[in-house]
Structure 1
Amino acid sequence: MNILLTGSSGWLGRHLAPLLAADGHHPVGLDVAPGPYTQIIGGVDDRALVARIMRDYRIDAVVHAAALHKPDIARVSRQRFIDVNVSGTLGLLEEAVAAGVDRFVFTSTTSLMISAAIRAGQGEAAAWIDETLTPLAPRNVYGATKLAAERLCRLIHDDHGLPIIILRTSRFFPEQDDQAHLIEQDGENSKAVELLHRRLTVEDAAEAHRIALGRAPDLGFGLFIISAPTPFVPADMLDLKRDAAAVITRLYPDVRELFAARGWTLPASIDRVYDAALAERMLGFRCRTDFGVVLESLRRQGRLPFTHDPSYISPQLAG
């Protein structure tokens, strides 16, 4: 298939494009910044450009990973978020329908599920978050525009029958968290802990998109949380909020020793847990890397199975 891959120069795009090519597809990369897998420089909000790409490259499928993200909030207006994340998505969807594209995968985010109350850690128990969570109350323009884009995906599917899969990915960025000053652990430490409840590797994120692309025509429409499988269950939520370290140690008896050897610490409290079980049941996808894989690498004193790069700068910002 000829696949339009938006955001092809980004962290996800540069990992996904080779997977698509290895499957025998022809990815056509569109990004505002140059990159090794980007053939066309431009924005998804350029409707005329999108229409020309659909026609000239005879696009069969779309993977829409381009977006303005949370770190952009400090430097980009709300209107620009709407232009790119909402209007850009609508243009891609409508041009896909007009071109007879037969499947569409949209990269969304679990961030849109986190209200101000969840973010503040209100309540006695951690939040158990799956696709049934309501009401959705995004706390910033990033989440609000991604939710609006999701709803446009549903509308276009309902109106035109375009097979669409929405993937709400949890964290997989390589850089330091923008709330690092609030986290006691260093970057590697915090990323390792997050694989328990709110993170996946970029390799797993790319594989999820590859699987979704293949499954879209059969499913018709689907919305899935994509995150490393959690060892926790809903009955753990109260204890996770009160004493997360004790819960983790119960599940992994040697974790304290392994963390101590690396100078890491366990979290005192966990405020949310993403449940990716629906993606495993319906999409047939399960992340390969979870917390257990991290511990095994610590036991072997091997390389960590995720990327931490505090110096990483997105191609868009670098340009």
Structure 2
Amino acid sequence: MTANETPEIIMTGPLMAYAADQLRARFTVHELWNAPDRAAMLREIGGRVRGVAGGGAHVRIDGALFDALPKLEMVANFGVGYDNVDAAEAGRRGIVVSNTPDVLTDEVADLALGLLLATVRQLPQVDRYLRAGKWLEKPYPLTTSLRTRKVGIVGLGRIGKAVAHRLEAFGLPIAYHGRSRQADVAYRYYPSLVEMAQDVDTLISVAPGGAATHHMINAEVLKALGPNGIVVNVGRGTVIDERALIEALEAKTILSAGLDVFEDEPRVPAELIAMDHVVLLPHVGSASVHTREQMGQLLVDNLVSWFSGKGPLTAVPETPWKKA
């Protein structure tokens, strides 16, 4: 940025004040999600906008939006996952996309372990039991245990590795499934998700969304997991065939599930809500003040770095950035 130029950017959804205030101090910010007529706003300002601060499901960031923003240079996405952005199309158009990796890794991994423990030991159900006065009548029934469980991780990226590291402290055997074997990882690799499900009894999914992972945890995988099986998902809801999961839980094909993400958020199937033996969270994996502020800061830093001529800090693979 130069002293004589204030780039114009669009915010597609609300951000924490910590980040939004910094953006307003450095850029001319247009709040697209607040516009009574988004199409009219884009017609008015689209030719001047050079950046997008994106987050949430308020506006899909794809070719249609790119068409309305002919001078767009960069999309800074709030979140490590960016399936709300057509990054491949952005790359084809020479638009750089950034995300917020690393800063939320530990928070999501912590939540994954908490959700696993809550599901295995039925912690929300036990809490409700006590509050309802039922402990006065008789002890809570015995639960399953984390002891003797074998865990398969679906998607061994940054967060998957952090989850695995925490699981090691519990003394649990760990396997993983992904696109390819990772040379620097000692855990057992399964090229087939079904085969891994047959050999473990607990699946933890931290896989990203998108066409490549859509419904990869399906009825066949759930059947292979077996009647003692538990599924935990802190990645993307689309990775699991939700209808197949509901049927597996109802038929006791698997034991239980702990879910922080869903296919059509924030709408959660009534069948899942009605089940007392599952644990459901409203996509709170990174939802601490500390981590969300760090995510917002990285979004801001990416935009500031780009418009200062230094390039993005964390460009996604579909839009690689090579410093000139």
Q: Give the TM-score normalised by structure 1.
A: 0.35
Q: Give the TM-score normalised by structure 2.
A: 0.34
Asked which structure has the greater CA Rg, the reply is 2
Where is the helix percentage greater, Structure 1 or Structure 2? Answer: 1
